[in-house]
A and B are shown apart, each in its own frame.
Chain A
Amino acid sequence: MMRLHQPTRRAALTAALGLSLVWRPAAALSNELAGALRGFTGGAPTREGRVKFEIEPLVENGNAVPITVSVDSPMTAADHVRTIAVFNEKNPQRDVFVATLSPRLGKARVATRIRLATTQQLVAVARLSDGSHWTHTVDVVVTLAACLE
Protein backbone atom coordinates (compact mmCIF):
# COMPACT_ATOMS: atom_id res chain seq x y z
CA MET A 1 0.00 0.00 0.00
CA MET A 2 1.41 3.37 -0.96
CA ARG A 3 2.14 5.57 2.04
CA LEU A 4 0.71 9.11 1.74
CA HIS A 5 3.18 11.95 1.97
CA GLN A 6 2.96 13.28 5.57
CA PRO A 7 1.44 16.77 4.89
CA THR A 8 -1.26 15.27 2.70
CA ARG A 9 -2.24 12.75 5.35
CA ARG A 10 -2.29 15.48 7.96
CA ALA A 11 -4.43 17.61 5.70
CA ALA A 12 -6.82 14.74 5.18
CA LEU A 13 -7.11 14.09 8.91
CA THR A 14 -7.66 17.79 9.61
CA ALA A 15 -10.33 17.93 6.95
CA ALA A 16 -12.04 14.91 8.45
CA LEU A 17 -11.93 16.46 11.92
CA GLY A 18 -13.24 19.76 10.58
CA LEU A 19 -16.01 18.03 8.74
CA SER A 20 -17.02 16.13 11.86
CA LEU A 21 -17.37 19.41 13.71
CA VAL A 22 -19.78 20.95 11.23
CA TRP A 23 -21.75 17.88 10.15
CA ARG A 24 -23.56 15.56 12.46
CA PRO A 25 -26.39 13.09 11.92
CA ALA A 26 -29.90 14.27 12.75
CA ALA A 27 -30.06 11.90 15.71
CA ALA A 28 -27.53 14.06 17.56
CA LEU A 29 -30.01 16.93 18.10
CA SER A 30 -30.36 17.74 21.81
CA ASN A 31 -33.75 17.35 23.49
CA GLU A 32 -34.31 21.09 23.81
CA LEU A 33 -33.69 21.65 20.13
CA ALA A 34 -35.69 18.61 19.10
CA GLY A 35 -38.64 20.02 21.02
CA ALA A 36 -38.35 23.47 19.47
CA LEU A 37 -38.05 21.92 16.03
CA ARG A 38 -41.13 19.77 16.63
CA GLY A 39 -43.05 22.86 17.67
CA PHE A 40 -42.20 24.46 14.37
CA THR A 41 -42.76 21.48 12.09
CA GLY A 42 -45.81 20.19 13.89
CA GLY A 43 -44.19 16.79 14.08
CA ALA A 44 -43.57 16.55 10.32
CA PRO A 45 -40.38 14.67 9.34
CA THR A 46 -37.21 16.68 8.78
CA ARG A 47 -34.10 15.91 6.76
CA GLU A 48 -30.58 17.30 6.99
CA GLY A 49 -29.44 19.04 3.83
CA ARG A 50 -30.17 21.85 1.37
CA VAL A 51 -29.84 24.33 4.24
CA LYS A 52 -26.49 25.94 4.98
CA PHE A 53 -26.14 27.53 8.42
CA GLU A 54 -23.00 29.67 8.42
CA ILE A 55 -21.63 30.64 11.82
CA GLU A 56 -18.11 30.80 13.27
CA PRO A 57 -17.47 27.59 15.25
CA LEU A 58 -15.54 29.59 17.86
CA VAL A 59 -17.11 32.86 18.97
CA GLU A 60 -15.17 35.55 20.80
CA ASN A 61 -18.22 37.26 22.23
CA GLY A 62 -21.73 35.90 22.36
CA ASN A 63 -23.38 39.32 22.27
CA ALA A 64 -23.34 39.66 18.48
CA VAL A 65 -22.63 36.58 16.39
CA PRO A 66 -23.02 37.01 12.62
CA ILE A 67 -24.96 34.20 10.93
CA THR A 68 -26.20 33.47 7.44
CA VAL A 69 -28.78 30.85 6.57
CA SER A 70 -29.16 29.99 2.91
CA VAL A 71 -31.24 27.32 1.22
CA ASP A 72 -30.59 25.67 -2.10
CA SER A 73 -33.84 26.56 -3.92
CA PRO A 74 -34.80 28.02 -7.32
CA MET A 75 -37.29 30.35 -5.54
CA THR A 76 -39.91 30.04 -8.24
CA ALA A 77 -43.64 30.14 -7.63
CA ALA A 78 -43.71 26.37 -7.96
CA ASP A 79 -40.65 25.62 -5.84
CA HIS A 80 -39.50 28.01 -3.13
CA VAL A 81 -38.71 28.37 0.54
CA ARG A 82 -41.64 29.60 2.60
CA THR A 83 -40.05 29.93 6.01
CA ILE A 84 -36.63 29.84 7.61
CA ALA A 85 -36.38 29.51 11.40
CA VAL A 86 -33.43 29.27 13.76
CA PHE A 87 -33.56 27.75 17.23
CA ASN A 88 -30.95 27.64 19.99
CA GLU A 89 -30.30 25.17 22.77
CA LYS A 90 -29.18 27.07 25.85
CA ASN A 91 -30.34 30.68 25.73
CA PRO A 92 -33.22 31.57 28.09
CA GLN A 93 -35.63 30.85 25.24
CA ARG A 94 -35.31 28.68 22.13
CA ASP A 95 -36.50 31.05 19.39
CA VAL A 96 -34.05 33.20 17.49
CA PHE A 97 -36.06 34.30 14.47
CA VAL A 98 -38.68 33.07 12.02
CA ALA A 99 -38.45 34.59 8.54
CA THR A 100 -41.20 34.41 5.95
CA LEU A 101 -39.92 34.45 2.39
CA SER A 102 -41.54 34.69 -1.04
CA PRO A 103 -40.48 33.70 -4.58
CA ARG A 104 -39.95 37.45 -5.12
CA LEU A 105 -36.67 37.17 -3.24
CA GLY A 106 -34.88 35.26 -5.98
CA LYS A 107 -32.54 33.71 -3.45
CA ALA A 108 -33.27 32.09 -0.08
CA ARG A 109 -30.65 33.74 2.06
CA VAL A 110 -31.02 35.58 5.37
CA ALA A 111 -28.19 37.14 7.35
CA THR A 112 -28.37 38.63 10.82
CA ARG A 113 -26.55 38.76 14.14
CA ILE A 114 -27.64 36.72 17.13
CA ARG A 115 -26.90 36.41 20.82
CA LEU A 116 -25.48 33.24 22.31
CA ALA A 117 -25.45 32.85 26.07
CA THR A 118 -22.96 29.99 26.09
CA THR A 119 -21.47 27.13 24.11
CA GLN A 120 -24.40 25.30 22.50
CA GLN A 121 -26.06 23.69 19.54
CA LEU A 122 -28.28 25.54 17.06
CA VAL A 123 -30.53 24.42 14.23
CA ALA A 124 -31.75 26.21 11.12
CA VAL A 125 -34.87 24.76 9.52
CA ALA A 126 -36.45 25.60 6.17
CA ARG A 127 -40.05 24.83 5.23
CA LEU A 128 -40.41 24.50 1.48
CA SER A 129 -43.46 25.18 -0.69
CA ASP A 130 -43.99 21.42 -1.04
CA GLY A 131 -44.31 21.12 2.72
CA SER A 132 -40.95 19.41 3.28
CA HIS A 133 -38.60 20.47 6.08
CA TRP A 134 -34.84 20.61 5.81
CA THR A 135 -32.36 21.32 8.59
CA HIS A 136 -28.74 22.11 9.35
CA THR A 137 -27.46 21.71 12.90
CA VAL A 138 -24.31 23.41 14.16
CA ASP A 139 -22.24 23.41 17.35
CA VAL A 140 -20.74 26.68 18.53
CA VAL A 141 -18.16 27.28 21.23
CA VAL A 142 -18.62 30.62 22.98
CA THR A 143 -15.77 32.02 25.03
CA LEU A 144 -16.39 34.73 27.59
CA ALA A 145 -14.32 37.88 27.87
CA ALA A 146 -11.65 37.65 30.53
CA CYS A 147 -11.99 41.28 31.58
CA LEU A 148 -15.66 42.04 32.03
CA GLU A 149 -16.81 45.55 32.85
Chain B
Amino acid sequence: MARTRIQVPATARRDEVVEIRTLIAHTMETGYRAGSDGRTLPRDILRRFSCRYNGELVFSAELYPAIAANPYLAFSLRVDASGSLSFTWEGDNGFAQTESATITVT
Protein backbone atom coordinates (compact mmCIF):
# COMPACT_ATOMS: atom_id res chain seq x y z
CA MET B 1 0.00 0.00 0.00
CA ALA B 2 1.53 3.28 -1.06
CA ARG B 3 1.33 6.28 1.23
CA THR B 4 -1.24 8.80 0.00
CA ARG B 5 -2.25 12.27 1.06
CA ILE B 6 -5.66 13.54 0.00
CA GLN B 7 -6.97 16.98 0.72
CA VAL B 8 -10.74 17.35 0.51
CA PRO B 9 -12.64 19.92 2.58
CA ALA B 10 -14.65 18.20 5.31
CA THR B 11 -17.63 20.44 4.69
CA ALA B 12 -18.88 22.61 1.85
CA ARG B 13 -21.98 24.53 0.80
CA ARG B 14 -24.31 23.15 -1.88
CA ASP B 15 -23.08 24.02 -5.38
CA GLU B 16 -19.72 25.16 -4.06
CA VAL B 17 -16.75 24.26 -6.28
CA VAL B 18 -14.11 22.70 -4.04
CA GLU B 19 -10.53 21.79 -4.81
CA ILE B 20 -9.37 18.22 -4.42
CA ARG B 21 -5.66 17.55 -4.10
CA THR B 22 -4.12 14.10 -4.19
CA LEU B 23 -0.58 12.90 -3.64
CA ILE B 24 0.68 9.32 -3.76
CA ALA B 25 4.13 7.83 -3.11
CA HIS B 26 5.30 6.10 -6.28
CA THR B 27 8.64 6.19 -8.07
CA MET B 28 7.08 6.35 -11.54
CA GLU B 29 10.06 4.49 -13.01
CA THR B 30 10.02 5.64 -16.61
CA GLY B 31 11.57 2.63 -18.31
CA TYR B 32 14.19 4.93 -19.85
CA ARG B 33 16.60 5.10 -16.93
CA ALA B 34 19.64 2.87 -16.49
CA GLY B 35 20.40 1.34 -13.11
CA SER B 36 23.84 1.30 -11.51
CA ASP B 37 24.63 -1.92 -13.42
CA GLY B 38 24.03 -0.12 -16.69
CA ARG B 39 20.88 -2.07 -17.57
CA THR B 40 17.63 -0.21 -18.21
CA LEU B 41 15.30 -0.29 -15.23
CA PRO B 42 11.94 -1.65 -16.37
CA ARG B 43 8.98 0.72 -16.55
CA ASP B 44 6.84 0.78 -13.42
CA ILE B 45 4.40 3.63 -13.41
CA LEU B 46 0.90 4.53 -12.34
CA ARG B 47 -1.21 4.56 -15.50
CA ARG B 48 -4.64 5.64 -14.44
CA PHE B 49 -6.26 7.76 -11.77
CA SER B 50 -10.01 7.99 -11.24
CA CYS B 51 -12.30 9.78 -8.82
CA ARG B 52 -15.85 8.77 -8.04
CA TYR B 53 -18.31 11.00 -6.24
CA ASN B 54 -21.16 9.04 -4.65
CA GLY B 55 -20.38 6.25 -7.06
CA GLU B 56 -20.30 8.38 -10.22
CA LEU B 57 -17.06 8.69 -12.17
CA VAL B 58 -16.37 12.42 -12.30
CA PHE B 59 -12.70 12.65 -13.20
CA SER B 60 -10.05 10.33 -14.57
CA ALA B 61 -6.61 10.66 -16.08
CA GLU B 62 -4.32 8.45 -18.17
CA LEU B 63 -0.79 8.92 -16.85
CA TYR B 64 2.47 8.44 -18.74
CA PRO B 65 6.14 8.27 -17.70
CA ALA B 66 6.31 12.05 -18.07
CA ILE B 67 4.35 12.41 -14.84
CA ALA B 68 6.82 13.15 -12.03
CA ALA B 69 7.55 10.73 -9.19
CA ASN B 70 5.16 10.88 -6.25
CA PRO B 71 2.35 12.04 -8.52
CA TYR B 72 0.33 15.07 -7.54
CA LEU B 73 -3.07 15.55 -9.15
CA ALA B 74 -5.44 18.36 -8.31
CA PHE B 75 -8.85 19.10 -9.82
CA SER B 76 -12.14 20.78 -8.96
CA LEU B 77 -15.52 19.36 -8.00
CA ARG B 78 -18.91 21.04 -7.71
CA VAL B 79 -20.55 19.41 -4.71
CA ASP B 80 -24.33 19.08 -4.47
CA ALA B 81 -24.82 16.35 -1.84
CA SER B 82 -23.03 14.87 1.14
CA GLY B 83 -21.37 11.59 0.50
CA SER B 84 -18.22 9.78 -0.31
CA LEU B 85 -15.36 10.33 -2.66
CA SER B 86 -13.21 7.45 -3.77
CA PHE B 87 -9.84 7.76 -5.46
CA THR B 88 -8.29 4.87 -7.36
CA TRP B 89 -4.79 4.57 -8.72
CA GLU B 90 -3.92 1.72 -11.09
CA GLY B 91 -0.58 0.93 -12.62
CA ASP B 92 2.06 -1.50 -13.83
CA ASN B 93 2.75 -4.78 -12.04
CA GLY B 94 -0.86 -5.02 -10.94
CA PHE B 95 -0.79 -1.89 -8.81
CA ALA B 96 -4.26 -0.95 -7.60
CA GLN B 97 -5.15 1.17 -4.60
CA THR B 98 -8.31 2.98 -3.56
CA GLU B 99 -8.66 5.61 -0.86
CA SER B 100 -11.83 7.31 0.34
CA ALA B 101 -12.92 10.56 1.88
CA THR B 102 -16.26 11.91 2.98
CA ILE B 103 -17.70 15.35 2.49
CA THR B 104 -20.64 16.97 4.25
CA VAL B 105 -22.60 19.35 2.06
CA THR B 106 -25.01 21.78 3.70
A83 to chain B, nearest CB (A): 10
> In the complex, which range does the number of interface residues on chain A fall in?
20 to 34
B8 to chain A, nearest CB (A): 14
Beta-carbon contact of A106 and B17 below 8 Å: yes
Beta-carbon contact of A63 and B61 below 8 Å: no
> In the complex, which range does the number of interface residues on chain B fall in?
20 to 34
Q: How far is the CA of A75 from the CA of B67 in the complex (A)?
A: 26
Q: In the complex, which residues of chain B have a beta carbon less than 8 angstroms from the beta carbon of A135?
A: none
Beta-carbon contact of A112 and B73 below 8 Å: yes
Chain B residues touching A, majority SS: strand
Beta-carbon contact of A100 and B72 below 8 Å: no
Of residues 47 through 64 on chain B, the ones whose CB sits less than 8 Å from some CB of chain A are: 53, 56-64
Q: In the complex, which residues of chain A have a beta carbon less than 8 angstroms from the beta carbon of B72?
A: 66, 111-113
Flag whether A65 is at the interface (Cβ < 8 A). Answer: yes
Of the A-B pairs whose beta carbons lie under 8 Å apart in the complex, a sample of 18, sorted by A's number, is: A65-B68, A92-B65, A93-B65, A95-B62, A99-B62, A101-B75, A105-B58, A105-B78, A106-B76, A106-B78, A107-B17, A108-B76, A110-B61, A110-B75, A111-B72, A112-B72, A115-B67, A116-B66
A: residues with CB less than 8 A from B are 63-66, 75, 88, 91-93, 95-102, 104-116
B: residues with CB less than 8 A from A are 17, 30, 32, 53, 56-69, 71-78
> 8 shortest A-B CB distances, which residue pairs?
A106-B78, A106-B17, A107-B76, A64-B68, A113-B68, A111-B74, A99-B61, A104-B58
